Every structure is written in C-alpha cells, then in structure tokens.
C-alpha cells in the first residue's frame, strides 16, 4: 500500500480550516463575524466586485489567447478525454452560482 505524503500547503490549509471551524464554537464570535462581514460588504464591496471581475477577465484572456494552447505535462503525453458537454455545464453552473452569491452579498 502506498503511503501518503502530506505537503506543507495541505497541512497549513488544514490548520487554518480547523481554527476557523473552532472559532464558530466560541461564544460571541457570531457578533464579531457579523460586524466584519458588514464592514467588508459596505466599505470594500466595490473593491471585491472589481477584483473578482478582473480575475475572470484575466482568466478569459488566457483561455482565448495563444497562451491557452500551451500543453501541460510531459512531451508526447496525450490528454485525458472528458465529456466537454458535462464539463462546460458544470463550469457555467459554478460560475453562475458564485456570481449570484457575489451579486447578492
């Protein structure tokens, strides 16, 4: 059986996630998180919306430009074939969900 090697990124993400989950059980943290959310939503909402729009546009540029044709992996390695119809609908569904979440936050 193959043993797993956990990277430092995984360990760091796990620690941060566990801390955030543990904070949810601290009494009074709900009020603090509501204050932070309202502060971010009212004072930095415009910046958040602009940043996410910029990220989507940059990703779209990379996909449509010649840089989108760069092959990743070893030379001569064939790409796995996925169902493009399902993949595209999954991507667009996720994008629609997150853009709606962004708009209504």
What does the pLDDT read at residue 10?
Answer: 92
pLDDT in tens, 13-23: 999 999 989 98
Question: What does the pLDDT average to over 67-90?
Answer: 73
pLDDT in tens, 49-75: 898 899 999 988 988 888 877 777 788
CB environment 58-91: b (16+ within 10 A), e (fewer):
eeeeeeeeeeeeeeeeeeeeeeeeeeeeeeeeee
pTM of the predicted model, to two decimals?
Answer: 0.44
């Amino acid at each position: 059986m193959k043993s797993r090697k956990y990277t430092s990124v995984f360990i760091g993400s796990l620690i941060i996630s566990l801390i955030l989950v543990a904070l949810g059980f601290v009494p009074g943290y709900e009020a603090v998180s509501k204050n932070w959310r309202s502060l971010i939503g009212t004072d930095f909402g415009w910046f958040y919306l602009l940043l996410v729009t910029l990220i989507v546009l940059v990703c779209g540029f990379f996909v449509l430009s010649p840089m989108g044709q760069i092959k990743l992996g070893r030379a001569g390695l064939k790409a796995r074939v996925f169902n493009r119809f399902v993949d595209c609908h999954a991507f667009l569904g996720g994008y629609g969900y997150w853009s709606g979440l962004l708009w209504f936050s």
